[in-house]
Structure 1
């Protein structure tokens, strides 16, 4: 069993970390300007896990995760990386794996280059974790479907050119009750709501999307009718592993800052680093980081090997998200009163970490998935 990265992987990790320091976070709640899209695309973040023939980098799950981790560790804004990850894992991957060949050819090059930005429209006002009860309906008509419903907390919603969304096509179909669609922003009957005012991941715009008799042609169905759950679950395997590499990078960055701080800061006539409770706290932070990293890399390896990654993905998502929150809070304790000052950025790190235990399936959902994989 080899735990080491190749020379090429280490070099790519170092390169993206250096480049990420210059990655602008000048997006707003309303959108992602073209120059930021180009920067994200130039670093490979929008098309990392897409084959080269479609405009991507051709990476597998592990190399894609390393790219996101390296960018985060290098200092890229967490919300901006989240915007790129939501685009790639929740939207581009479903188009790649489930769209018709002509639809892939039409959409993927623009999605990889940043010409097109995608929004993940799954969550509804009354359907977050319970994706089996979507109120949005898709009614079969000649040549396609009419969508009616409201999606909330749509990542990249205000800025998106394309939405990957899900609607009920057979209320009595059980697992096969929903269907996935790729919908153009300019489709008649699609209305994009105002940006949400958020306190975390602020560089990723989010908002409501409303469908009113919105026509979607048959060639924009992802997979077959009734395969919405399959499309969503497949995308979540990528999102719950690769996207959460962002939080490995965040923890790496925070630990570096804390180590530097405790070496320089003195209290009671000693360096903070020489106080055992402080050293113990940092040891726990390192333990959480490396434990989560091993689980996440294993989950990515299972995806790359074509195995069922469900157990490893759930454990990785749970471990990394909970560690991100705990480590951000520990950083706040280490920095003391300075942690609440915006100039130090610790309070922003906490705000960006807290949602990690909610989006992409809550921690309780991950525990349920782990229990199910154990045969309980």
Structure 2
């Protein structure tokens, strides 16, 4: 069993970490201060929007594990976690299903722009009364000559207000359950598509979220993902990539957070000594490290299995649950380590909590992950 990285993989991580830190680190910009289009162009230039896309379409052609390692470097070097999430949602929830299920002409037309940063993709799946259950979508798609007419509204669309391209799912056969759902690629300029203004959110501020409404929105049949009725499988495939690789960004965030806590515990003095000497402080930082390394191993295993064509819902569910729950717990511990400074915005520690709490909600809530894990265990 090999736990090390090759020299090439280690060098790729180091180069990405340096490049991201230079472009997006705290000395380069204030989170949320740059124009999203400028950020997207920079991300495309660094290759972060096409990590797992084949080279002929403008990507790097990496497997799941190498992709996750790059996203981890992205999350460590970029303090704007909203941007890390936005780019990862673009890649895993949208670009991956286009890569794997779109017709060749559509791939050739869209993938280069999605990889370069010319195009922003939005993930339009969740509805007001349907999130994790893909068999109960209220958005419908009625077949007409040459394509489909979509009607209904999607909520919580990641990148929705800014997107040029949407990957969405709609009910084409209401009597067929999850076999009656179809995936579509819809472009922003399609007649009948309306995107809302961005929501006000607790965290992940750079990732704009909003609603997308379809009113007799025509989608050509060549923009169906896979085949009619196969949308459930398309969505679950993209969710496998998202739940594994996207959360590597949170591993990078936790590396950053632990570094901050160690530095502070070494420098901050109380009662004539460094607070890192106090067991209550040291134990919290140790628990943070334990959560990180445990989650990291689970995530690496899930991605390795994907590279072996053995995508495991059990491994992916365990990984997503460990990373997201561990991130929130560690953010709370960091606030306790920093004390009053942890509650003040000027020190930036409270932002870790605001950005980690959503990780237990999107891509399937923690309770949904536990349900999936229980089913895989035969319960």
- Contact persistence 2:302–2:311 (CA under 8 A): no
Q: 1:199 deviation in Å? A: 2.1
User: In the alignment, which residue of structure 2 is the partner of 1:332?
Assistant: 335
Q: How far, CA to CA, are the matches of 1:48 and 1:309 in structure 2?
A: 21
- Contact persistence 1:146–1:215 (CA under 8 A): yes
| RMSD over equivalenced CA pairs, Å | 1.4
- Out of 129, 138, 141, the position equivalent to 1:138 is 141
Q: 1:177 deviation in Å? A: 1.4
Output the TM-score relative to the length of structure 2. 0.97
- Contact persistence 1:26–1:203 (CA under 8 A): no
**1:299-314 equivalent positions in 2, closer than 5 A:** 299-314=302-317
Q: 1:164 deviation in Å? A: 0.2
User: In the alignment, which residue of structure 2 is the partner of 1:285?
Assistant: 288
Q: How far, CA to CA, are the matches of 1:157 and 1:92 in structure 2?
A: 15
Structure 1 counterpart SS, 2:148: strand
Q: 1:46 deviation in Å? A: 0.6
Q: 1:279 deviation in Å? A: 1.0
User: In the alignment, which residue of structure 2 is the partner of 1:81?
Assistant: 84
**1:6-155 equivalent positions in 2, closer than 5 A:** 6-24=6-24, 33-155=36-158
- Contact persistence 1:26–1:36 (CA under 8 A): no
* Deviation digits for residues 235-274 of structure 1 (CA, Å, limit 9, x no counterpart): 0000001000011011110001100100111112221111
- Contact persistence 1:20–1:76 (CA under 8 A): no
Output the TM-score relative to the length of structure 1. 0.97
Q: 1:27 deviation in Å? A: 7.8
- Contact persistence 1:90–1:239 (CA under 8 A): yes
Q: How far, CA to CA, are the matches of 1:258 and 1:312 in structure 2?
A: 30
User: In the alignment, which residue of structure 1 is the partner of 2:232?
Assistant: 229
Q: 1:130 deviation in Å? A: 2.2
| Structure 1 gap segments, 5+ residues each | none
Q: How far, CA to CA, are the matches of 1:132 and 1:229 in structure 2?
A: 8
- Out of 340, 343, 355, the position equivalent to 2:346 is 343
Q: How far, CA to CA, are the matches of 2:192 and 2:375 in structure 1?
A: 40
Q: 1:40 deviation in Å? A: 0.8
Q: 1:7 deviation in Å? A: 1.0
Higher mean C-alpha displacement, 358-367 vs 10-19: 10-19
Q: How far, CA to CA, are the matches of 1:242 and 1:268 in structure 2?
A: 44
Q: 1:34 deviation in Å? A: 2.5
Structure 1 counterpart SS, 2:168: strand
Q: 1:49 deviation in Å? A: 0.7
Aligned residue pairs total 375
Segments of 4+ in structure 1 off by > 2 A?
A: 22-29, 31-34
Q: How far, CA to CA, are the matches of 2:372 and 2:64 in structure 1?
A: 21
- Contact persistence 2:184–2:224 (CA under 8 A): yes
- Out of 279, 293, 314, the position equivalent to 1:276 is 279
